[in-house]
Every structure is written in C-alpha cells, then in structure tokens.
Chain A
Amino acid sequence: MTPTVGAQSLKQVKVNENLKKNMQHVEQSQSSLVSSFRFVSVVASAVVILIGILVLLGWTFDIERLKSGLPGLVAMNPITAVMFILGCVSLELIGLNESDPWIRRIGKVCAFIVALVGLLKLGGYLLGWDLPIDQWLFQEKLGAALPIRNRIAPNTAINFFLLGLALIFLDVETRRGHRPAQFLTLMAAVLSLLAGMGYAYGVQSFYGVASFIPMSLITALNFIVLCTGILCTRPDRGLMTVITSHGAGGMMVRRLFPAVIAIPLLLGWARLMGQWTGLYSTEFGTSLLVGFTIVIFGVLVWNSANVLNREEDDRKQAEMALRKSEEKYRTLFDSIDVGVCTIEMLFDGNGKPVDYRFLEVNPSFEKQTGIQNARGRRMREIAPLHEEHWFEIYGKIALTGEPARFENQAAQLHRWYDVYAFRIGEPQKRQVAIHFKDITERKQAEEEMRKLNTQLEAANKELEAFSYSVSHDLRAPLRHVDGFSQILLEDYAEKLDDEGQRYLHQVRDASQRMAQLIDDLLNLSRITRAELRREAVDLSGIVENVAELLKKEQQDRTVEFVIQKGVRTEGDAHLVRVLLDNLLGNAWKYTGKQPQARIEFGRTMQDGKTAYFVRDNGAGFDMTYAHKLFGAFQRLHSVSEFPGTGIGLATVQRIIHKHGGQVWAEGVVDQGATFYFTL
C-alpha cells in the first residue's frame, strides 16, 4: 500500500470513528436534553409555589414588598396566589408523574378548580355578575391601599382558565401529533408577556383592562414562569419537539429563542428609556432601535447559518464515508471468488428447521451453485430433493449462534461444497450467512485417487504372491539340475572323460548363477515394493559393521578401511543397510586384484548439499560407460574377471531414488572408483 492511500484510509477510519462517537453522543444528549427540560419544569413550579406562598405571607403580615414586588405597584390577589399554588400542584402531579391514575386524577381536579375559578370570574366580567371569589381571603385588607378593592384582573382570569384547561388536557394529542395544551399555554404566556411589557413600557392598557385592577407585575411574571414550566414538562411532544430536536433546527432554536425574546425587549426598553430621560428624540430613538435590531439579528442569523453550514458539512462527509465504505464492501461481496449468501431460516410449528429463503447472494453464488435468481426464493422450491442435513445444520446455527465449518454433498445440484456458515444480525431474525466453495472437482479427484490407490494395493498384493511363488517354484528345478549333475559327477566319474566332467561343471555353474539371479531380482522387486520408514541411521556404524563381516568372510585378504566417524542421517535402516552392503561389497570385490586395497567411506559437500561416498582403489571403470553403471544386469567387466550379476548397482540406485536422493560415480581404469550418493 502506498503511503497516500494509507493516509486516506486512515482519514476515513477517523471519520467513521467520529460518526460513531457522534451518534452515541446524540443518543446520550437526547435523553439528557429531555431531562434538563424536565428539570426546568420542576424548578419553575417550585418558583411559582414559592412566590405564591410569599405573597400569602405578605398579605398575612402586611408586607407590601411581598405582595406586589416593587413599591407602588398593584399587589397579587391572595386568591390568585392560591390558584397559582394549586396550578403548580397540578403541574407536579400530572406533569411529572405519568403512571399512577389516582395521582393524575387529583392533579386534574386541582387544574379543574383553577380553570373553574378563571371561567367564573371571566364570565362575571363579561356578563356583569360579581362573583366575590377573590374576596374570600383577607377580605378586610383588600381595599386598603387602593381606591377599589383588589380583585383578580380579567386577563388573569383568562389566563387561569387557559392554564387550567391546559393542565387538564396536558397529555391529549391529536393524530398529527399536536398538543392543544401547548397552544393554550402559549396563549396564556403571550398575555402575560404583554402585561409584563406593559409594566416595562408603561403601557397602561396592556396590564390594566379599562377600569379594572390590572394584572399585577408579579402575577404576570409568575404566569410566564408557570407557562414555561407547563411547556417544559413534555419536552419531546408536539411543538416542543422542534426545540428539543437534536438536528440543526433544534440547535438553532435553542440558541436563538432566548435572543429573539430578550433582545427586542431590551432594545425597546432602552429606546424608551433614552427617550424618557431626554437622551434622544423619538426619531433618533427609533432609528437607533431599528439599527441595533438589524445588526444584532444579522449577527445572530449569520452565526446560526455558520453553525448550520458546518453541521451540514460534517454530515455530508459522514455520508460520503459511509457510501465509500458501502461501495468497498459491495465490491468485495461482488468480486469474491467464494459464494456468499445470507438466508433466513424458516421453521415449522414445532420449531424444526424445514426451509430457508435467500436474502442476498453475490455473483459468485450463481457460479458455485448453478442457481439463478435465487434472491427471495426458498431452497425447497429451487431444489425439492435437497438433503435434510443442510436444513438441520443451518437451523442449528440460527438457533445457537455457533458457527460451523464442514464439507457436504448437495446431490440435486450434483456438487460437493466446503461450507462455513454463521449467524448474523439479531438472534430472533434467524438469519445465517454462508461462505461456500464448490469442491466437486476436488472430491472427484480424491475419489479417483482412492480408486487408484486400491488398484495399486491390489496390484502390489498380486505381485507379492507372484514373487513368492516365483522364488519358490523357480528354484526347485534348479536344485534338481544341480543335484543330479553332482550325482552324475560322483557316481559316474569313471564313465566320463575330462570333457564330459567339464560340461557337467558348466551345468552346475549355470544353475548356480540362475539361482543367484532369481534371488537378486526378488530382492530388487522387494525393495521397490517396500515402504520407506525414515529414522535416524548411523552410516558410520553400518559401514564398520559391513566391513567387519567382509573381513570375516575372507580372512585371507587384508584391506584397509578408512571410515569417517559420526556420519548420521535419516533413512530406512534396512534399505540403507542393503545399499551399503552393495557398495562396500562391490568395493571389496573390485579391489580383489589390488594388493594394497583401500576402501574409504565419508561425507562431503557437493553443490551445497551433503553427499556420502564410498571410494576404492581397485579396478575402477571407464567413464565413457558411466551411464551404463546403474542399469539392471549391466556389467562393465566380464564374469571371469569379477563375479556378479550386475544387479547390485541397480539395487543401490533404486534405494537411493526411493529416498529422493541421487547417485553418481567417478572412476579411472585401474585406479579406482568413487560412488557418491545423497539421501
């Protein structure tokens, strides 16, 4: 692999890793986002309850600060405070506890009370009744500071009505996933916002409707907090999903929303402030407001766009990496030599595997099986006679998840397969992936070989029997020929002249030779038939042994033996013995005419390989005839010069070739010969 390609794939690996990390991150933050919103809801209701309690305390102990927040402003009606507390209780019970139906019912009852109070008060204003619900608490103190009695403002009533309903229908969801409760809450929030802004900008009509007591500032703020709480209690439903989504949109919303609300408020307030304090005129103020709005929102939008762009880039990169990876695997799948397929196991009512369907096959599949358009089809319909064991094996893999490697036959397809199969995907899907190769040819070759082997063995056995009878039956007549010739010589010596006796000797010699020939041939064939058994052999030891025997057989001869010590190798002990017997026997024989006979044995290096040699200083041979040396019954000397049948070297060669070695010889006439061999 060149460095550039390596670096590229490294980068891809990094991107893939990032992808994975991001996805894990997303999952984690999705749930953490939801829980943080819920936490906000809890905090919100706590705050609202707290304020409600503080107001009540204020009314109880006549602390103006607690009743109205800033001095000079209208105080929160005590019943309003109670309603707030009830509302929060309801929120807690319903919003934060989704399971126990009794708790939910209690919560709904509280919400109902709130809504009812709101509705009644509103109805009262609209229809002219005067329901003194708001007079129930601290009646005597209500009219103290102001010319008219402190009452629940109409917009406060509307808000309670809306929020009460919202709480009752908190978990109602239309088919399209909309939540009416959220819309109700938003409406209430907008009203509160307007009231609050009214206080901030001094817009009378926002917070006070006609001649009624206006919604107090604390009430307005409390409403906003409560609305936030209600909205945040179901952060993954309805409208809220946009805000809590983890896509680019959600991120943008969460960044921008606070700004969208806060900045106009601030700017508006700043503009008015400036105007009131005479810093600048209306026109200047307005243009300043507009200018700042443009700049700030411009910056915000640009920033968000930038973030979105980067997100998009990352996503595109991840997509590309994914596609490249997909391509890589598809190419692999398509071009692989081995047949690959995925199947879905089908079981009958008893859980017995009865069939399978092909889900995916690679192009090699068709080549290896001969089945076309396998995708989507079941094996039983493709090959009704497919063996039972295939289904059993795959069924077992699908159930246990243990992979299996095996060879087996698919008779209907006329093929043998080498299969590796394993389960993939979720265990309950019962899908198995199979890698297989058509080994029909190999099996056939194996079968052929087995047949040939059996034939060979049979032939060998026949040969064995043949050799046996040959050796036995051929020798008997020879014995007779020799025997009776001898008897003739002994008993009829006087009747035969010298010539006659000489003929009889010839007859005897000939039969001896024939016997020797038979023996040699038999040995030769036995060697070819014998199996090679490799073991450690001590060549030096064997040579010494043979030398001893030769000396003992012919004690009248003195031959000098030079044997290299410690020469060891691996080979068949018996055959090596025969080999050395022959070579040394030859050396012994052909030094028969040499008074200072010398036979050497040792190890040497020839062309980088270890070779062994037997050297003698006897009759030697003419190198011109070297190629004839090892032929069966080939001799370079006549029988009268040196006895022998000419089979010795043929045997030697057979043995060496059986060991996978080589044998060759060098000789000079009347100076000696050296026979080299490797094993």
Chain B
Amino acid sequence: MQEKIIVLVEDNPNDEALTLRALKKNNIANDIVVARDGVEALDFVFGRGAHAKRDMDQIISVVLLDLKLPKVDGLEVLKTLRENKDTRLLPVVVLTSSKEEQDMIQSYSLGANSYIRKPVDFAQFVDSVRQLGLYWLVLNESPPKQG
C-alpha cells in the first residue's frame, strides 16, 4: 500500500513542535514532512530542487499550509499548486492563526479546501488536530492521481 504523507508547511519551530505533538497524540501515524518555507514546500511537492530525489510514488494525502511564510507566501504556494494540473486537486488545509476575513476569502478564492484557525488554547488545538486528522485522513477520499 502506498504511504500517504502529510506535508506540514510551517516556518515557526514552536508551532511546528506543537503541531507535531498534537498529531502524535492523536495517533496519526503517517509520515509527516515539514517544509519551513514556501519554496521548500513547492520543491517537495513537485519533487525538485532540494527534494529532487523524493519518491514521487508517495501520495500526499493533505497539505497543512500556514499563510505567513518567508520567501514564498502561503497564498502563493496555494496558487501555484492550483495552477499546476498535477496538484490542482491536491487537498490543502490552510492552518493559520490569522483571524482576518481577507485571508479567509483569499484562501478560499484561490482554491483551499479548508481553513482552520489555530486556537491559542493548546488543548483546543489538539482537539482540532484530532478532528482534522480524522476527517482528512480517514473519512475523506483523496482524489485519484491523474496520470
């Protein structure tokens, strides 16, 4: 069975640690790949640059995308993903602490599948991640890979 990867795009190491812990606490066993900026994220998804050698047979089940990223912004990443026919259908969940309506509107307009606000309360966050995982990894049917 092909492994399903979760790509977490997050520049803040603290946020990264907390998110990973939340995922672990919820027994989400998948491989989690962390990209620390937009460029790294795109490189990995398309298998180029620093991640040229990645196994393209690996299916990415979902991308957890933060918006505020250095180099290439979260929305830019989203846009690029949606423009490429290979990744047009890739599930992207925007995971951000921004409460700005504009960000939400932009994200959805550019084709994000979901928009989650990171709560300050960690317990709440863990619960949110649990639900996230349950939904996107178990319940949701990933789109077929277009050949």
The chain A residues found within 8 Å of chain B, CB to CB, are 468, 471-472, 475-476, 478-480, 482-487, 508, 511-512, 515, 519, 522
Contact = CB atoms under 8 A, between A and B. Distances in A.
B120 A479 contact: yes
A486 B122 contact: yes
Given A471-B98, A471-B100, A480 B14 contact: yes
A515 B120 CA distance: 7
B100 A512 contact: no
19 contacts: A471-B99, A472-B96, A472-B97, A475-B120, A479-B15, A479-B18, A479-B118, A479-B120, A479-B125, A480-B12, A480-B14, A483-B21, A483-B122, A484-B14, A484-B18, A487-B21, A508-B122, A515-B120, A519-B99
B88 interface: no
Nearest to B21: A487
Which 8 A-B residue pairings sit nearest by Cβ, starting from the closest? A515-B120, A486-B122, A480-B14, A483-B18, A483-B122, A475-B97, A482-B122, A478-B120
Interface string B66-80: 001000000000000
A519 B120 CA distance: 11
A483 B99 contact: no
Nearest to A481: B120
Contacts of A487: 18, 21, 122
Contact of A486 (B14, B96, B123): B123
B55 interface: no
B99 A476 contact: no
Contact of A482 (B68, B98, B120): B120
B57 interface: no
A512 B97 contact: no
Contacts of A482: 120-122
B145 to A, nearest CB: 35
A465 to B, nearest CB: 11
A616 B125 CA distance: 35
A509 to B, nearest CB: 10
Contacts of A480: 12, 14-15, 18
- The interface residues of chain A, by DSSP majority, are classed as helix
Q: In this complex, which of B68, B96, B97, B118 has the most chain A Cβ atoms within 10 angstroms of its Cβ?
A: B97
B97 A476 contact: yes
Contacts of B99: 471, 519, 522
Nearest to B19: A483
A111 B15 CA distance: 133
Interface string B1-43: 0000000000010110110010000000000000000000000
Interface string B104-124: 000000000000001111110
A203 B96 CA distance: 143
Contact of B121 (A484, A512, A522): A512
Contacts of A519: 99
Contacts of B98: 468, 471-472
A10 to B, nearest CB: 71
Given A472-B100, A476-B14, A483-B18, 13 more contacts: A471-B98, A471-B99, A471-B100, A472-B68, A479-B15, A479-B118, A480-B12, A480-B18, A483-B17, A483-B21, A484-B18, A487-B21, A512-B121
Contacts of B123: 486
Contacts of A484: 14, 18
A479 B97 contact: yes
A471 B98 CA distance: 7
A522 B100 CA distance: 10
By CB atoms of chain B within 10 A, which of A485, A486, A515, A522 has the most? A486
